[in-house]
Structures are given as C-alpha cells and as structure tokens.
C-alpha cells in the first residue's frame, strides 16, 4: 500500500506541476511575443528625418535599432534586433523559473517571441 501511495502522490504532484508551470510558461511566452512586437513597432517609427523631408520614407537604422533595444530593456526582456529591407525584426527571450517541475530537474525554461514591423504611411489604409 505504501508504494501505491508514493507513486500516486508523485503522479499528482507531476500533474499539478504541469498545470502550474505550464501556465507560467504560457504567460512568459505571451510576455516575450508582446515585448518583441512592441519593440519592433517602436523601432519602425524611427524614420530618417532628412529622407522624410524629401518625401521618402526610410528607417534610420541606428535609431530604429536603439529604440527597439531600449523598449526591450524597459520591458525587462532580453532579445536581438535586426533590420532587413526596411523592416525591424525582434526576437525576445524570457527565462521562466519553474516551481513544482523543479522537483524533477527542470529549474528554468527559456521561451521566445518574435515580432516584425515596417513603417507605413497613411491614416485609413497603409501605403508602403
């Protein structure tokens, strides 16, 4: 009977760990995706002012990257920012500590989120 109780207790703890820590991982992923998307949008707002005066919409690469990185820092998230073809790409990382699954050797899990944005001109519909 003691072995049955021990195995059943461990199974219940593992199931509870999956529920609790699974929820934490989903929340961390949502945080990573949200931070990446917002950082990409912030970066895509940084236009080259000289080109804008000439009616040409072009990103200021240094400012776009700096603004996107600053937003990640303010969000408390680590990540990478790249610019490609007038778009800002952000890949954010969140390291989530686990609770009950720590008992089986999983202390932390890293989740990722991605976002991209490009500058768009227009009020009612976007023009490139």
Domain residue spans of the chain: 2-117
| Tens-digit pLDDT profile for residues 102-119 | 777 888 999 999 999 998
| Tens-digit pLDDT profile for residues 1-37 | 688 888 888 888 778 878 888 889 999 999 999 999 9
d(CA 107, CA 82): 30
Give this prediction's pTM.
Answer: 0.81
Order the strands of the 78-84 sheet from edge to edge.
78-84, 87-97, 108-117
> What would the 3-class secondary structure string for 47-78 be?
ECHHHHHCCCCCECHHHHHHHHHHHHHHHCCE
């Amino acid at each position: 009977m003691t072995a049955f109780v021990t195995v059943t207790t461990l199974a219940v703890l593992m199931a509870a760990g999956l529920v609790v820590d699974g929820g934490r991982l989903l929340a961390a992923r949502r945080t990573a995706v949200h931070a990446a998307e917002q950082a990409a949008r912030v970066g895509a707002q940084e236009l080259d002012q000289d080109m804008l005066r000439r009616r040409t919409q072009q990103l200021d690469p240094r400012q776009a990257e700096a603004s996107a990185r600053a937003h990640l820092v303010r969000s408390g998230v680590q990540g990478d920012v790249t610019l490609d073809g007038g778009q800002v790409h952000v890949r954010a990382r969140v390291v989530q500590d686990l609770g009950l699954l720590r008992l089986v050797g999983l202390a932390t899990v890293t989740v990722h989120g991605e976002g991209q944005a490009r500058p768009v001109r227009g009020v009612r519909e976007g023009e490139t």
